[in-house]
Structure formats: structure tokens, C-alpha cells
């Protein structure tokens, strides 16, 4: 289908140009055809409109993705806080404190391990490790009649946390295909090229220069903004884990004793665990 469309476009453009050079222009020059035709405004207008509409459409799409990244991080931080609070229902003090410590380490690993990985469109295995520890503890508690209700609540909250994490990771994936971005760049370049090269005699040089430069600045800034919004965890407008940091600062002081992780969220009691990252697909 794509090849057919390209062939149709190439044939249409070729036929139109051949007819224009071989028949239309010679007939105009000899007076056998009208001197009226498509003006430069009629030629440039549709192309300029297409370029602007394409940029606006993609800009709206990338901004929605950028906003969704912040909402996903907030949802995950909220689920993490609720998961920590659900641990209060566990009667056994030792198990309760271990669960709390695992939740704090999870938040720490999101901040210091996964956030830098997402800047490179990758996912870290460290939060996955802590998530597995929390879920395993909850599943074990479900088998204990005295802790069954608390365990079910823990598992449910952990499911909310995992779902919010997947949404956050999903926003790290690019929303603008490379082919579409290349098309936008070409459309902008061709439009600016025509604007800069073809003018009527009535347009003064100074006015023309200002218009072309201003249009170039606006369109280039829009392309840059699209590219930046399409990478919500890196670039000038990158999202920071502010909500997760806020939640961690709240819950960390409530854990008794040392945490089972270092300041970067890496496990200190799992010598066989090796941290790794993998590409988001």
C-alpha cells in the first residue's frame, strides 16, 4: 500500500511537471492559453498549512505524553505510600518492619536507579527486585490465617504500584516515530526554503528578512520542543522523581533499624543479585 501511494505521487508530480513545461508554458508564451494560473500564494499556502498542522498535531500528542509521565509518577508514589501504610495492619512487628524497609528501598531504587536508566530509555532491574520481595512477603502472609486480611490488602496495593510503574515506564517510550519526525523536518525545511527564495516585487527586503527569520525561529523552536517533550525523563523539560522523593522522605524515618539497601537503593543482603538495565520496547 505504501509503495503504491509513493508510485501514484511520483507519477502525478512527473506528469504535471512535464505538461507544465511541454504544453502549458509554451501556450502561455504564445498567447494561446490564459496567463492566469496558480499563484505563488496558492503554491506555498497548502505546503505551509500542512507543515503547521503537522507540527501542532505532533506537539499536542507529545505534550499529552509528557503530562501523562508526571501523572504516572504521582500515581506510583501514592501507591507506594499506601503500600507502606497497609503494612501497619501486619500484626507481627518483625514482618511489618521488614515490609516497610522493602518499600522504602523500592522508592530509593526508583529515584537513584530507574530514573537515570529511563533517561536512556531503559528499565532497571533493581525496583523489580524490591517489588518481587514485597509481593513474595504478601503472598506468604496470605497463607497465615491471622494475617490473611492484611496480606490481601498488601497484595492489592502492590498491584496498584506495579501497574503505575508500568504506566511510567510506558511514557519513556518514544511517541513520535523517526519517520514522522524526519517528515516534519523536511516539511519545515522546504517551506522555509520557498519562503526565503520566492518573493513578489512589492515585498521589501527588510520585511522579507524579518518574516523568514521569525518563521525559522518559531518552527525550529517547535521542532525542538516536540523532541524534548517526546523524551519526558531527559532533556531541558525532563520530569524529576519529585513525588517519589517526597513520599520517601515521609516514610523512611518510620523504619526501625538499618535499611536492607544502600543510599542508591541497591540490596546489601543479596550478594548474588546483579543490577542490570534493559531497553524499553
Note the pLDDT tens digit of each residue in 154-203.
899 999 999 999 999 999 888 888 888 888 888 888 887 777 766 666 66
Of the chain, the percentage scoring pLDDT greater than 70 comes to: 85
Lowest-confidence region among 22-26, 32-36, 161-165, 250-254: 32-36
Instruction: Return the ∠ at Cα 111 (arms to 101 and 87), rounded to 5°.
Output: 25
Note the pLDDT tens digit of each residue in 27-61.
767 766 555 555 556 666 777 788 888 889 999 99
Neighbour tally for 18: CB within 10 Å? 10
Total length of the chain: 281
Q: How far apart are CA 93 and CA 12, in angstroms?
A: 77
Conformation bin of residue 121: beta by default, left when phi > 0, alpha when psi is -120 to 50: left
3-state secondary structure of 267: strand
Query: Looking at the predicted structure, is the pLDDT value of residue 24 above 80?
Result: no
| 88 and 143 Cβ atoms separated by less than 8 Å | no
Amino acid at each position: 500500500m505504501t509503495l503504491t501511494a509513493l508510485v501514484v505521487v511520483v507519477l502525478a508530480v512527473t506528469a504535471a511537471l512535464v505538461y507544465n513545461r511541454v504544453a502549458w508554458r509554451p501556450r502561455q508564451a504564445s498567447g494561446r492559453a490564459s496567463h492566469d494560473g496558480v499563484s505563488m500564494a496558492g503554491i506555498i499556502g497548502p505546503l505551509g498549512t500542512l507543515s503547521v498542522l503537522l507540527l501542532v498535531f505532533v506537539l499536542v500528542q507529545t505534550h499529552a505524553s509528557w503530562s501523562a509521565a508526571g501523572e504516572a509518577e504521582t500515581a506510583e508514589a501514592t501507591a507506594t505510600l499506601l503500600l507502606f501504610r497497609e503494612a501497619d495492619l501486619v500484626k507481627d512487628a518483625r514482618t511489618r518492619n521488614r515490609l516497610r524497609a522493602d518499600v522504602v528501598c523500592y522508592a530509593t531504587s526508583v529515584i537513584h536507579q530507574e530514573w537515570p536508566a529511563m533517561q536512556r530509555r531503559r528499565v532497571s532491574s533493581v525496583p523489580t527486585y524490591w517489588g518481587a520481595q514485597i509481593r513474595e512477603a504478601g503472598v506468604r502472609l496470605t497463607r497465615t490465617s491471622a494475617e490473611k486480611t492484611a496480606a490481601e490488602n498488601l497484595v492489592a496495593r502492590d498491584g496498584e504500584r506495579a501497574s503505575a510503574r508500568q504506566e511510567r515506564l510506558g511514557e519513556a517510550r518514544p511517541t513520535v516515530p523517526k519517520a514522522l519526525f524526519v517528515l516534519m523536518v523536511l516539511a519545515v525545511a522546504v517551506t522555509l526554503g520557498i519562503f526565503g527564495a520566492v518573493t513578489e516585487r512589492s515585498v521589501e527586503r527588510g520585511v522579507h528578512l524579518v518574516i523568514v527569520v521569525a518563521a525559522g525561529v518559531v518552527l525550529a523552536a517547535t521542532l525542538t520542543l516536540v523532541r524534548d517533550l517526546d523524551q519526558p525523563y531527559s532533556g531541558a523539560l525532563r520530569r524529576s522523581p519529585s513525588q517519589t522523593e517526597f513520599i520517601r522522605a515521609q516514610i523512611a524515618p518510620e523504619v526501625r533499624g538499618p535499611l536492607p539497601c544502600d543510599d542508591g537503593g541497591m540490596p546489601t543482603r543479596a550478594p548474588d543479585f546483579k543490577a542490570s538495565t534493559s531497553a524499553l520496547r
